[in-house]
Structure 1
Amino acid sequence: MHNNPMWAPFEVTPEETGATADAPGLVAYLEDKERLDATLVEQKALTFRGFGIETSELDPVMDALVPNRLAYVHGNSPRTKVGQNVYTSTEYPPQYTISMHNEMSYAHQWPARLLFYCERAPLSGGATPVVDGVRWLAALDPEVREAFAGGVRYTQNLHGGMGLGRSWQQTFETEDRSEVERFLEKGQSEWEWRPDGGLRVSQIRHSTARHPVTGAEVWFNQADQWHASGLGDQTAAALAQIMPEEEMPQSVTFADGTPIPAEYIAQIQERGLASAVDVDWRAGDLLLIDNVLVGHGRRPFEGPRRVLVAMSD
């Protein structure tokens, strides 16, 4: 049932490529853009190891791997902007696993590529698991796939400056309401400005996607990360005591508004992680993924860990 069970990101090293083991060597190797594009679609994810890239040398490497870098507008996880459309990977507490997902699959537009760069490796743990989206889809029970066939409805409650979760100003990187409305209009979202200065956004999206080049169908939604049960039992129970689900910072139902059973959410998370391959980090490593073909997450870790992320269309 699982296609390609031995799939793992394709490793690019100085030995394999004949490039010098430094930033100029990698940049020279990446000058062949067509080769890079074709290899990424074929292999789905690429790790670049042994080039010893320093943070100060990152810009030309990023220009080659993720041209047209995008801002994290409409993003929903805590992170810090550290450069021109470069961010820390999510600042979610280190003891938690982040389940598999495709970046911004809930939005009307998502990045085609993600680039991760390890500035500082953790003492232990902290791998980035990656999953072949075709394999993840195949790992789910037919009952779950059929239930999701009609799509999902995501709802966000963004406060106006004070409250739980993110503000609409942080989320859209602007203070201008009309700019937010233009963005949401493009994505065929429904929205409502609340009397308290907050913003409620609702949008219906597909649960799977097809890759624009290969046509492969992949599991492509973030229902498990938006669902209350995806927060873990204790957090979900604590939140349920203080607010109804539709008032939470984010929630999800099937497209027609019916609730998604918690056991479906558990299956999606468990089988996504079970189908994943861990990419362990050493300082200076890079990981480039096709954001449609491959989902990603994060394993728990100890000690300081700093992984930067950039994305492009």
Structure 2
Amino acid sequence: MSTLRKEECYALDDINVSFLDKTKQTLPLVLTPRFDDSLEFLCKWAEANRPWVEEQVLQYGAVLIRGFQVGSAPAFEKAIVSLQPNLCNSYRGTSPRSLMEGTQYAFSAADVPVNYPIAQHIEMSFLNAPPQQIYFGCLKESKSAVGGETSLCDFRKIHHELSPALRNKLITKKIKYQRTHSKVGERFTCDVGAMLSWVDLFKTSDKRKVEKICKDEDAPTVQWIGANQDTFLQEWEDDPFQLHPVTREHVWFNHTQVFHWTTFPCELWYACCRVRDIRLFLHFVFVSIYNVVIYGLLGYKMALNSTFGDGEPISFQEMNEIRDVIHKNMVFSRWSKGDILCIDNFSTSHGRQPTYDKGRKVIVSWSHLLDKHSPSLPPRSSEGHNQRLKDKQSLKEDYNLPELSAVTPATSPESTLTDTEVAGLQSGILDLLRKDVLQSEADKKSRFEGHKRHLSCPTLLQADSDFWKKIQ
């Protein structure tokens, strides 16, 4: 085969490009085979067009690759390596996961019951260095008509659509996390984080090795609490928003909507209203009563707990505002076998809708980790693909090829600032925001005072009662 013929075989017009919702042209962008649906073709095409795919993930937040023969975990991993050769298998997240047989980088998406909703989140956003991209694959789709979707949300919109009052309060006070894991994970609980033991998280039962791992990863200092001093605890503060490392857009970048005790019942309620399944309603009633008693009245904390930076609980109303904005911008995509979903983990969240179909099987891989506090990355260059795009503009309407303005250098100019200048400028702007625009507040560090807190029990049925304003 000649070089020219080989180039044609792996050109951009060898695939179809469209949207799930053509009227809105929003995430995810969908790539499907035009001629060849084999795994071999997908891998070679993805490797040849990797910069273009990365630009689309950057622009749209997510790209769905559909219709190719990706029927196993090893096949999924092979395809992902063609898209992203720098994969990582270090996991410090919150959901229990299992490595898939025959792979190094493919894991089960979440080893928790399928009728548990997983709220929208940036993967490992609470860590110093989350993965830059995340990839999901479907080995078996759900048989039910609704439920089980991996939902998406552009978290850049959350920053813009939150009320100024709440956004400014979050920026001023920041977020405080408390993370606890027992030596043995809990089985019968509504708290997904409690299912994961620190032994499973760090793959060792040696506390000194755990401390060394955390130190090497520049993680918060480990404390050991509990009667036997065998409960893992970390406390730290973090910013609620981050600047995207490439586009420099503000992004809602934290886990408060996941680490809040009202999240589980509220996500069940949203799902119940959407799919109208009586089983979800009954689950919602049970979990609501359980959480109000355990967390609201008795004062227990979740394994992964979040408050404002000074220890003030995030109220029910404040959390509902955050949830409402997120759900307003969510997109639901049903899985098909062989699907690969590529996500920009620094702009776009993912979550899982509850289902009662136990046959659904979704796996996940993620890219190298990126320090979220580091200076901005240079914009990606796709000069090698720009000429090919110009040559194929006539195919745009025939093959439903969307606008690809993010690929051109004009929309992503090289920065003239050095990394040191960028870091200094960013720091200066943040200082101005915190000191001049917002009312600065004293840094109030609240120490851990046990795994329970005691609250009074005023009227629960009124959303504006003092109870809902004070609880987390």
Q: What is the TM-score normalised by the length of structure 2?
A: 0.61
2:262–2:316 CA contact under 8 A, matched in 1: yes
Alignment of 1:260-275 (within 5 A): 260-275=314-329
| 1:13-67 CA distance string (max 9 Å, x none) | 112xx6x211111111111332232222122211001112121422320212343
Contact 2:257 2:263 in 1 (8 A): yes
Q: Does the CA contact (< 8 Å) of 2:77 and 2:105 recur in 1?
A: no
1:189 aligns with 2:207: no
Between the aligned partners of 1:239 and 1:183, the Cα distance in structure 2 is 33
State whether structure 2 residue 292 is matched by structure 1 residue 237.
Answer: yes
Select the residue among 346, 360, 365 that pairs with 1:310. Answer: 365
The whole-number CA distance in structure 1 between the counterparts of 2:251 and 2:155 is 5
- Counterpart of 2:45 in structure 1 is 29
Give the letter for the 1:102 counterpart: I
For structure 1, which runs of at least 5 residues remain unmatched after alignment? none
| Post-superposition offset of 1:243 | 6.1
Alpha-carbon distance change, 257 to 216 in structure 1, aligned in 2, over 3 angstroms: same
Q: Secondary structure at the match of 2:258?
A: helix
Q: Matched residues in 2 for 1:238 and 1:71: separation?
A: 38
* CA shift for structure 1 position 211: 1.1
Instruction: Map 1:1-313 to 2 at 5 A.
Output: 6-15=25-34, 20-32=36-48, 33-55=50-72, 56-82=74-100, 83-124=103-144, 125-149=147-171, 150-161=173-184, 164-185=194-215, 186-194=217-225, 195-232=228-265, 233-240=288-295, 244-246=299-301, 248-303=302-357, 304-313=359-368
**Count of paired positions:** 306
Q: Which residue of 1 aligns with 2:387?
A: none
Q: Give the partner amino acid of 1:217.
A: H
Identify the structure with bigger relative contact order (alpha carbons < 8 Å, sequence gap 6+): 1
Q: CA contact under 8 A between 1:69 and 1:310: conserved in structure 2?
A: yes
Greater strand content: 1
Q: How far 1:6 sits from its partner (Å)?
A: 4.7
Contact 1:128–1:296 (CA<8 Å) still a contact in 2? yes
Shift in alpha-carbon separation, 1:188–1:79, aligned structure 2, 3 A = closer
SS for the counterpart of 2:156 is helix
Q: 1:190 to 1:259 in 2, by over 3 A?
A: farther
Mapped contact 1:166–1:249 kept (Cα < 8 A): no
Q: Secondary structure at the match of 1:190?
A: coil
SS, match of residue 31 in structure 1: helix
Point out where structure 2 has 5 or more consecutive residues left out of the alignment: 1-23, 187-193, 266-287, 369-472
CA deviations 1:179-203 (Å, max 9, x no partner) are 4223433435132112331111112
Does the Cα contact within 8 Å between 1:158 and 1:200 map onto a contact in 2? yes
Give the Cα separation in 1 of the matches to 2:314 and 2:235: 16
**Partner AA of 2:203 in structure 1:** E
Which entry has the higher C-alpha Rg, 1 or 2?
Answer: 2
Alpha-carbon distance change, 11 to 225 in structure 1, aligned in 2, over 3 angstroms: same
Q: What secondary structure sits across from 2:114 in the alignment?
A: coil
Calculate the aligned-residue CA RMSD, in Å. 2.2
- Shift in Å, 1:241: 7.6
Code of the residue aligned with 1:99 in structure 2: it is A
Task: Spell out structure 1 runs of 4+ moving beyond 6 A.
Answer: none
